[in-house]
Copies of this chain bind each other. A is one copy, B any other.
């Protein structure tokens, strides 16, 4: 089941030359170690750990969100059942923790990322039950905190643990943790955009599922904040509940018309720029790492 979750085999255990994910997090860990003069090998336990935590979080998130598809295949729980998928997630997490158990200088970031991840995921879940408008609407500030936790923590852990295992100074690792959190916000916004305007044949995820389940994604929050006629219509459409294909498409068009797509794009760019500026200050010669970080908002999957 873990091999299936990692994209190495199909549901019957046969080798599957498929989509094992982008490998962004382990790449950040290895490149961060090299950027401080260490070897990529020195950061291998961190690279393995962050990829295992990522696989753990996908396994559990798909159960929580009832998502049936992942990377062009059935979700783990859909292929094996909720109990086995839950336990497989736990196994992936246990193995991740084991990787860094006796490397406290890296483990402290992994452990912080785990706490952030759960906080962020929990906020994301709670947001679904809050109204689109009114005194208890989800603010963009709350969204950013959620995204920094849910997505940024693990990117931060990848960078900081990579620096720590590569022999970098603790202060440098702390700063790279902050870089990762900013990157995470940008990464999450890019993910939100793919969920509305991405090509499901490329992303491997069902399109518009975020809209259907009242997920408070940044493009929609930004559109609603515009307070234009399109924004007001969007508010009415969303509050009525979008369930059929037509109303979902209509809502997506309104998000774009109200400026949600442009605003989301601008905000993602802003967070990446901030991250890259901090990266340049911390690690001026980390060209490969810089290219990787910059690419996170220009992706199609």
Contacts and interface: CB of A to CB of B under 8 A. Distances in A.
A112 interface: yes
Interface of A: 60, 63-65, 82-84, 86-87, 90-91, 93-95, 97-98, 101-104, 107-108, 110-112, 114-115, 117-119, 121-122, 125
28 contacts: A60-B86, A63-B83, A63-B86, A64-B83, A64-B86, A64-B87, A65-B83, A82-B82, A83-B125, A84-B125, A86-B86, A87-B118, A87-B122, A87-B125, A90-B118, A91-B122, A93-B93, A94-B111, A94-B115, A94-B118, A97-B110, A97-B111, A101-B104, A101-B112, A102-B107, A102-B108, A104-B107, A107-B107
Contacts of A94: 111, 114-115, 117-118
Contacts of A121: 87, 90
Given A83-B125, A94-B117, A101-B104, 17 more contacts: A64-B83, A64-B87, A87-B118, A87-B121, A90-B93, A91-B118, A91-B119, A94-B111, A94-B114, A97-B111, A98-B112, A98-B114, A98-B115, A101-B107, A101-B111, A101-B112, A104-B107
Contacts of A107: 101-102, 104, 107
A182 B64 CA distance: 36
A156 to B, nearest CB: 15
A28 B296 CA distance: 47
Nearest to A57: B90
B86 A115 contact: no
A125 B86 CA distance: 12
A117 B98 CA distance: 13
A97 B98 CA distance: 11
Nearest to A63: B86
A95 B104 CA distance: 15
